[in-house]
Amino acid sequence: GDSVTQMEGPVTLSEEAFLTINCTYTATGYPSLFWYVQYPGEGLQLLLKATKADDKGSNKGFEATYRKETTSFHLEKGSVQVSDSAVYFCALIAGGTSYGKLTFGQGTILTVHP
């Protein structure tokens, strides 16, 4: 079945550090890939997405590139801020499906210290 694996957390960084959260997937066909973020006390928000191989999704300084050859969609940010502290979820919608059933990774807790 379809699955998403994220790097284990929690991840703790100092402000302005470089962030990478690894995400790999297993899916049939050509899935669409997503990063969602959940800030403390808030609901899930779509951070960025990519729908085909080599696409780069970007938003709020975060980037992720859809790598079909390595089945990966790693999240990166060049300089994190305290306000980026949240839980990050990698997710996919399997290719060929007619509706948007999201399959999520287990989530990675990011804490950024001043």
The Cα–Cα gap between 103 and 71 comes to 15
Select from 5, 44, 59, 111 the one that contacts other proteins (CB under 8 A). Answer: 44
Min dist CB 78 to other proteins, Å, is 25
Our finding on whether 10 is near other proteins (CB under 8 A) is no
Our finding on whether 95 is near other proteins (CB under 8 A) is no
Range 63-92, binding other proteins (CB under 8 A): 89, 91
* Among 9-17, 65-73, 76-84, 102-110, the segment contacting other proteins (CB under 8 A): 102-110
* Residue placing its CB nearer to other proteins in the complex, 84 or 105: 105
* Residue placing its CB nearer to other proteins in the complex, 19 or 32: 32
**Which residue, among 14, 5, 6, 33, has the nearest Cα to 85 in the 3D structure?**
14
The Cα–Cα gap between 92 and 98 comes to 14
Our finding on whether 40 is near other proteins (CB under 8 A) is no
DSSP 19-77: EEE-EEEE-SS--EEEEEEE-TTS-EEEEEEE-STT-EEEETTEEEE-BTTTTB--EEE
Our finding on whether 103 is near other proteins (CB under 8 A) is yes
The Cα–Cα gap between 85 and 55 comes to 26
